[in-house]
Structure formats: C-alpha cells, structure tokens
Chain A
Amino acid sequence: MIERYFHSQLSQGAVECVVAALMALLVMAIAERRGVGLLRELPLAQLRGILQIVAVGAVLALLLRGPAWTSLIALAAMMLAAASIVRSRARLIRGSFLLALVSICAGAGSVLAVMIAAGILPLRITMLVPVGSMVIAQTMNMQSIFLDRFRGEVVSHTGEIESALALGASAETAVSIYLRAAYKASLIPSIDSIRSLGIVWIPGIMAGMVLSGASPVYAALYQFVVISIIFSAAALTCLTCSALVTGRIFNADEQLLLRP
C-alpha cells in the first residue's frame, strides 16, 4: 500500500519537476532572445541538479528507516563535504581542508550537540538531518566568505603585514586587523538574514512545517530557534577558524607564506 502511495506521489513529483523545469527554460529562452541568456547551460545544470537531489532523497528514504545514530553518519559526511568545498575557496592556505574540518566540527558540531543535549533538537533523523544540514551549509558559506576575504586582505596587504613583522610584531598582531575585517564580513549576510526573517524570506524549515500542517506561529518560533542555532554554529566556526588560520599562513619563524 505504501509502495502504491509512494509510486503515485513519485509520478506526481516527476510531472511537477517537468513543469518547473520547462518554466525555467521558457524564461531562459526569452532571455536568450534578448541576448542575455545562458540557455545552453541550463538544461545540463537542471539535469545535474535533479539527479543530485533525487539521489539525496533516495539516501534520506533509506536513512529514515534506519536507527537514529545513522543520522550522525550523515552529518559527518556532510561536514567532510563542506570542508572540502571550503578548501577550494582557500587554495593558497596550507592545510586548509583540516583547518575547515576542525573549525566546522568545533563550531557546528558543538552547537548541535548542545542543542540536542538541551532537548531543543530532538534526536530524530527527520529533525537532525534537515536542521543539521542547514547548520552545516551555513557554516560552510560563512567560513568560505571568511577565508576568501582573509586571503584577499592578506595578499593585498603583504607590505603592511611585513612592516609590522619587521618592527618585531608577532604574526597574530600583524594580521589582527585583517582577521577582524574578514570575521565581520563573514557575519554580515547572516545578521542581515536574521534581521529580515519573515519579511524578505520565509526559510525552508518554516515553509516545510507550514506545508505539513503545523501551526504557522509555532513554525515561526521554531524557525527562529533554528536560525539562532545556525548563527551560533557559523559564528563559532569562523571564530575557531580565525584562531587557527594565522598559524597556517606563517611558519614557525613568523615568515609570511601567503604571498600574491
């Protein structure tokens, strides 16, 4: 019976996907006529996107049947994937994969653990995986912004940094203002999204809870909880990262290794 229901929902989903994809293609076709479209790239991107998301859906379908601890494996896999994406943003920083992974574990991992321990985040796959994935994704985004900005600041201020070193400053002192700038830059999008919560965007969890019949007010309050978890996790991740990154761009003799 479940199979039959699943089957009908699946075909309904497929039809909805086709309609949505066609709409996007139509918009791109109009844009193409005006000479600004990327029509040729879109179908391939759509195909990739749908295969990825369907694969994730299939994995989730499997996970949902398993015991709760399997969600921890899923979260660990997400953290590894997030760290490898952050690394691609921080190419010139040595050991950036480990740096990103340690920071994500320290930030996202510890905040999630506290929330689970406090009972705010129930230890259920249906909660842990979606909320965890949002926390990790946001953590990844902020860390990418942080490292990208920090690298940019350092590369464009090697003169000032080496002048500070030449005056006997420690590596930490020499880069402290660039760390602060990068940290601030990485927090701005998150603070803006907290500020505009509900007015500019109704984020995924709330939309999902409302769609599945929960009280909109409870969904809204829970959304705030989730956003706060996400913010603390991401901010803590970047803080950890900022404490560790200095050691990655200098050697033991406080010589700057990250150069244009």
Chain B
Amino acid sequence: MDSNSNFPLLRCVELTRELPAGPDSGKASIASSIRPKSGRSILSGVTFEVKAGAVLAVVGPSGSGKSTLLRLLNRLDEPTSGTVLLDGIDYRTIPARQLRRRVGMVTQRAYLFPGTVAENIAFGPRQVGSSLCSGNIEKMLGRVGLGGFAERSTSTLSGGEAQRVAITRALANSPELLLLDEPTSALDEAARDEVEKLLASLIREQNLTCVWVTHDPRQAARHADSVLRLEAGRLSAYGAVDDVLDLQIAGDGKASSAKEMKAGSGAIPQQSLGRADD
C-alpha cells in the first residue's frame, strides 16, 4: 500500500498512559509521600496509524494495555503524554462529546441502558437533538437480525442479542471510526460466531474504519488489514497481518499462516477464552 495516496484517518503519536498516583487513601500518609509521583505506566510511547476504511487489530496478552489504548482513542481516559490525530486534527482540540460521537465504541459487555431496544438505539442521535423514526430503527435492527425487537425490554435479551443492539447503538451515531474492545469474548460460542460474522459484514458493507482489540490472533487474522501487538504496554510488533501474526501463531505451535486463515475465514476455530483485561 502506498502511504501517501491514502491519508490516515487515525494517527496516534507516542501515546503514553501512566496510572495516576493512587487516590489519597487517607491513612497511609507516610507511604504516599514515599511513593513516586508518577505511577506505573500502562501504555508507553505507542505510535501507529489507521487509514480510512481499514481495520487494525490490536492483539496481546491480558493486561498488556489493549483496552487502555482504546479508552484513550475516544478520550474516556486522558493520555499522560502523546496525542491522537483524527483526520489530521489533534483530538484534544475537539470537544469531548463531539469526538466521542465521531469515534464509536463497542465493549466486551453490551452495557445497554434500562428501557427498550429502540430507546437504546435512539440514545446517541438524541444527544444532539435528532430523533430516529421507528422505521429507521426497524431497518437498522433488521440489518443485524433483530427485526421486531424495537419495543423489547433490554432486560429480556440474550448476550448475543444485547451485543448486536450495542453494535447498532454505536453505529446509529454514524461514527467515522469504530473501536471494538473484544466485542465477542464475553459471549457463548454460538453467539460469538454470529456477532463476529455480523461485524465482518458490517465492516465490509459500510466500509468502516476499525480498531479491533482481540486476544485471539485468529480473529485478528480473519478481519484485520494490519496488526499491532502490545506487550506490557509497549508496542512489540506492528505491520501487515502476515508479518505480525505469523510469529504469534508459530508461537502457538500452529503451522498455518495468517493469510491462509483469512482466506478460509468461513469456519471459525474456537479458542479458549482469556481473562478479560479490564
């Protein structure tokens, strides 16, 4: 790919996040005066970019900083140093709410709001005073296989259904960039398969730009254009899927190359669940 012909939608420069020096626990005044001012760094100096329409997978073991990285990208957390350029503009100059509307997020658990499915989907647009008509909501639900679910209470949904509502809710804001934080890892096997296929087809159809965090290198190989691997908060590998993931898969003792996996992405091999890392 020619990097000059295609302007990166997202560019992260030396993103660093340190744990804030622990909240004043009151009694331990002596200990806290000894403790250094800057905390342990959970992400240090991570630099990468994502072109419009591309999918970047972020892989790495639990606690390597994958979720932290995503939380920095929509400014749920603040980088200690470094910054993010969204469409060439330093994201700290964009008001937080506006930024978060442009950078959608789907987390491991759906975290739907109490109420109906339709209310959840209309939530994002409502924040800027626009309302989705019921026909639109029904169309969006139909697209994710939940036709007729609009008036269902969110408390009655299965895990897979809830996650599909969460995806629809995030897309209702028409984000330029979609952050996926292990969107399938809290689901049972059947739902995991469905949601992964749904995401893949939505990405293809709507030409979505994504940063997809996963602990499963096979999932990364199936969907990503490039891969970034984090280890202990540092970028340990970054590049084309084959270059990064061959190492990983070889490390797993599997001989298949990432390219083969992507080619044969019909069948989804299952991998035992790692611990959630947030």
Contact = CB atoms under 8 A, between A and B. Distances in A.
Interface residues of A, number: 20
B73 to A, nearest CB: 10
A14 B26 CA distance: 39
A256 B76 contact: yes
Interface residues of B, number: 28
A91 interface: yes
Interface string A155-184: 000011011111111100100010000000
17 contacts: A91-B26, A159-B107, A163-B105, A163-B111, A166-B100, A166-B104, A166-B105, A167-B101, A167-B123, A167-B124, A167-B127, A167-B173, A168-B100, A169-B127, A177-B113, A251-B78, A253-B96
A148 interface: no
A153 interface: no
Interface in B16-33: 23, 26
A197 interface: no
Contacts of A92: 23
What DSSP secondary structure best describes chain B's contact surface?
Answer: loop
Interface of B: 23, 26, 74-78, 96-98, 100-101, 104-105, 107, 109, 111-114, 123-124, 127-128, 166, 169-170, 173
A177 B26 contact: no
Contacts, number: 63
Interface in A218-260: 251, 253-256
Contacts of A168: 97-98, 100-101, 124, 127-128, 173
B117 to A, nearest CB: 15
Given A165-B76, A166-B105, 13 more contacts: A92-B23, A163-B105, A163-B111, A165-B100, A166-B74, A166-B76, A166-B100, A168-B124, A168-B128, A177-B113, A253-B78, A255-B78, A255-B96
Nearest to B128: A168
A160 B111 contact: yes
Contacts of B74: 166
Nearest to B113: A160
Interface string A165-207: 1111110010001000000000000000000000000000000
B127 A173 contact: yes
Nearest to A157: B111
Contacts of B23: 92
Contacts of B127: 167-170, 173
Contacts of A164: 113, 123
A178 B75 CA distance: 22
Nearest to B78: A255
Contacts of A256: 76
B26 A167 contact: no
A-B pairs with lowest CB-CB distance, top 5: A168-B101, A159-B111, A167-B124, A163-B111, A166-B105
B100 to A, nearest CB: 5
Contacts of B101: 167-168
A162 B74 CA distance: 11
Contacts of B124: 167-168
B97 A254 contact: yes
Contacts of A253: 75, 78, 96
B109 A159 contact: yes
Contacts of B111: 159-160, 162-163
B169 A167 contact: yes
Nearest to A161: B111
A97 to B, nearest CB: 13
B184 to A, nearest CB: 17
A217 to B, nearest CB: 48
Nearest to B108: A159
A167 B100 contact: yes
Nearest to A253: B96
Contact of A169 (B97, B109, B114): B97
A253 B71 CA distance: 13
A251 B76 CA distance: 11
A170 B114 CA distance: 18
